[in-house]
A and B are shown apart, each in its own frame.
Chain A
Amino acid sequence: MATVTIDSLTFTYPKRTHPVLDDLAVTFPAGKFSLLTGVSGGGKSTLLNLIAGLTPLPAPGAIRFDGHPLAEIPATKRANTVAMMFQEPSTQFTMDTVENELRFALENQRVAATDIPAAIDEALNFVGIAQLKHRILMQLSGGEQQKVALAIIVAMNSDVILLDEPFASIDPPTRLTLLQKLMTLCTQQHKTVILADHDLSGYAHWVDHLAVLDAGHLTLLSTEETQERFAAFTPDRLQLTRVTPPQDTETVCLQGTQLGLFSGERELIHPQDLAFFAGQATLITGPNGSGKSTLFRALVRLSHYQGTLTYQGQDIQKISRKSYARQVGLMFQSAMAQFLNVTLDEELTLSQKNGNRAYFTPERVTQLLDQLGLTQHRNQVIYSLSSGQQKKAQLLCMLIMAPQVLLLDEPLKGLDLASIQTTMHILTSVQRDLGLTLILISHQLSGLDGLVTHHLRLMDHRLLYEGVTE
């Protein structure tokens, strides 16, 4: 058990004038679950990194664990005190397999060699992933990787568990399992859990006081205010009302014939025929690791597939890479993958040079930047933006390119509610004005209602349109 006390914490990134955290004071009680929320770029990740000791503290006494300043806890004891689970599932491992990563963590904790196998099995069983023990980490889906990350935290037996938007790319059932495991850790093992999340669904009966981080200050909401915020995320608002089954009159733009997808030996999609329709906004949903992102990579020729894929009747393998890439674009799940330059302004200039200049006039771009709250970040290095800001910048860059078919892999990942609404508004109006075909993967369903017209479900290795029976 450990109470985390933060006292007059001010933090400014080097070469920046505005502090991200401004004279912050808060106490996270021991053995409790604390939920932290706030706008993108509001400093949630910064705060968690500071608590985890991953970013050096500006003042040594600003963060204390049970009264002991973080700086005074010896480095070798730190993992025992505080552990962190990251937003990006794949970036938190050093070794190749699940077992080796657990061994690595336990060896660092100086657990006796004879006790390690039992500790590994116990942690894996607690999370319910004993079957993943010998799997290669990089071949696991994002959800499975997050489960492994949790198992490692359980094995390390850290008192304080920090989670930085751990569910950003995770399907609802996995999210619920992980949340329940975290609650068990809180109630039965008295761990202090601090979780940062934008998506507030599913927390209502677990969290009493929501902590909101805004403009460098943290406020603890009352029970009523907290419930009010949660209400905005209740399931009945997540319905997709405009979804219809595809009609015979619709034009097919991408057609897969006996399309099959594999990840190594594992079958993701059993060979089937699949059509995507022009001018529609199609949402693809399905469990983690079921093959949604792999389907996108296949559609842009970045991964292998079985069968044939045609674009407007032409085999995509026979179209030149250059011209195909201009017609079918992908907004990658990781924003980093999209950027080619250093500053946001350079990225926009590149898109404007090669994209749809007639529609995206400089005035319109300035206006969009303003709506997305990116205006003052124009000359900033793109990699130093927060993950939510990067996501918005990425979307804008791809929209300006205006390819006939735009694939969007988790376009709302890491965005706060206000940003989601702005983003969806922009996406909807651009699609309507330019007649684009949009295909989206998103776990986050709130805000999608006004846009999505077809819903494709991936289940049991099959893709099936909502409203269509086999």
Chain B
Amino acid sequence: MNPTLKLALVLIIALEISFTQVWTVNVVLLVVCFILMIAYRVKIKRLLWLTLVPLFFATALVWSLSLQGSASAHFLIVIFTRMFVYVYMGGVFTQTTEPLMLTRSLEQNAKLPSKFAYGFLAAFNLMPKIRTEVATIRAAALMRGQVLHVWSPQLYFKVILVAMNWSDQLASAMASHGFVEGAPRTHAVRVPLPTWNWWACAVSLLAVQLGLFLGLP
């Protein structure tokens, strides 16, 4: 499915279930998300992470709410399942979408200025680099006889400095490869937005509305 449309669908559904309290719809969404992730061959390890982390937080939240005593059982179930829906929908989106395709789609389909689209992509590509950089900084500090802990402000000072330097380099790199803010570009890869995508989006939304309407007390 087209990445932009997929993102919009996920966001709309997430917004809707935030303001309604129908746990059956949540459960149906969960099952659908789960099936989708299995169908797209998301790794079992990742799936376990996506299940265990929200399980911990949802349980903690429900437990503390039930201790307070004022929340009804229905509300607790809604809260519990809602958290899972957020994580699973996020999971479906991130595990089935390539950042580069999303960037291209945002640029071509959503007409987002290319500056933002590529800014997003650059930030994404930077994540693994930051992790290596932190390890390198700590090692460099040790070699100079200084221990940098996770809470040392100097570590973050250095990381920010490095990131600022990267952003300058990135700007130079983009400019030297001919990128000009706001200038029109061609697209080597077209991101398709076929009609069935719109239908799939509309039908899913309609189904959620119907479920919410029927499920409301």
Contacts and interface: CB of A to CB of B under 8 A. Distances in A.
Q: Do A and B come from one complex?
A: yes
Interface of A: 52-54, 75-76, 78-80, 83-84, 86, 88, 91-96, 100-101, 103-113, 116-117, 138, 152, 156, 300-302, 321-322, 325-326, 329-330, 332, 336-338, 340, 350-351, 353-355, 383, 397-398, 401, 403
A106 B190 CA distance: 15
Given A113-B186, A355-B145, A108 B179 contact: yes
25 contacts: A76-B180, A78-B180, A79-B178, A91-B169, A92-B176, A94-B118, A94-B179, A96-B100, A103-B188, A108-B185, A113-B186, A113-B188, A300-B143, A325-B143, A332-B136, A332-B140, A336-B162, A338-B140, A340-B141, A350-B144, A350-B146, A351-B144, A354-B144, A383-B165, A403-B143
Interface string B163-186: 001100110111111111001111
A329 B143 contact: yes
Lowest 4 A-B CB distances belong to which pairs? A354-B145, A79-B178, A325-B142, A108-B178
A354 B146 contact: yes
B140 A340 contact: yes
Contacts of B137: 337, 340
A110 B185 contact: yes
A105 B177 CA distance: 5
B161 interface: yes
A103 B189 contact: yes
Contacts of B172: 54, 86, 91-92
B177 A152 contact: yes
B189 A84 contact: no
Contact of B139 (A54, A76, A105, A300): A300
B148 to A, nearest CB: 8
A302 B140 CA distance: 10
Contact of B176 (A79, A330, A336): A79
A457 B144 CA distance: 30
A341 B9 CA distance: 47
A353 B145 contact: yes
B67 interface: no
Which DSSP category, helix, strand, loop or mixed, fits chain B's interface?
helix
Contacts of B175: 53-54
A340 B138 CA distance: 10
Given A79-B176, A106-B188, 4 more contacts: A138-B129, A152-B177, A332-B136, A336-B162
B48 interface: no
Report which residue of B121, B140, B144, B177 has the largest number of chain A beta carbons within 10 angstroms of its beta carbon. B177
Nearest to A325: B142
Contacts of B111: none
A47 to B, nearest CB: 15
Contacts of B158: 340
A403 B184 CA distance: 55
B177 A156 contact: yes
Contacts of B178: 78-80, 105, 108-109, 156
Contact of A107 (B140, B165, B185): B185
Contact of A340 (B154, B176, B179, B190): B154
B122 interface: yes
B179 A104 contact: yes
B135 interface: yes
A10 B136 CA distance: 39
Given A94-B170, A336-B162, A108 B140 contact: no
Q: Using C-beta atoms within 8 Å of the partner chain, give the interface range for chain B.
A: 35 or more
Report which residue of A76, A83, A302, A340 has the largest number of chain B beta carbons within 10 angstroms of its beta carbon. A340
B177 A104 contact: yes
A93 B169 CA distance: 9
Nearest to A112: B186
Contact of A321 (B136, B142, B170, B173): B142
B160 interface: no
Contacts of A301: 139
A301 B144 CA distance: 16
Interface string B69-81: 0000000000000
A107 B145 contact: no
Nearest to A332: B140
Contacts of A79: 176-178
A155 to B, nearest CB: 10
Contacts of B173: 86, 91-94
Interface in B114-166: 118, 121-122, 125, 129, 135-137, 139-147, 154, 158, 161-162, 165-166
B143 A326 contact: yes
Nearest to A97: B100
B161 A322 contact: no
Contacts of A93: 173
Report which residue of A76, A104, A383, A398 has the largest number of chain B beta carbons within 10 angstroms of its beta carbon. A104
A91 B189 CA distance: 25
Contacts of B154: 340
B186 A94 contact: no
Nearest to B118: A94
A78 B177 CA distance: 10
Report which residue of A76, A83, A105, A107 has the largest number of chain B beta carbons within 10 angstroms of its beta carbon. A107
A103 to B, nearest CB: 4
A348 B169 CA distance: 27
A75 B183 CA distance: 9
A53 B171 CA distance: 13
B43 interface: no
A115 to B, nearest CB: 9
A326 B166 CA distance: 29
Contacts of B122: 94
Nearest to A340: B141
A116 B189 CA distance: 10
A100 B169 CA distance: 18
A92 B172 CA distance: 8
A107 B143 contact: no
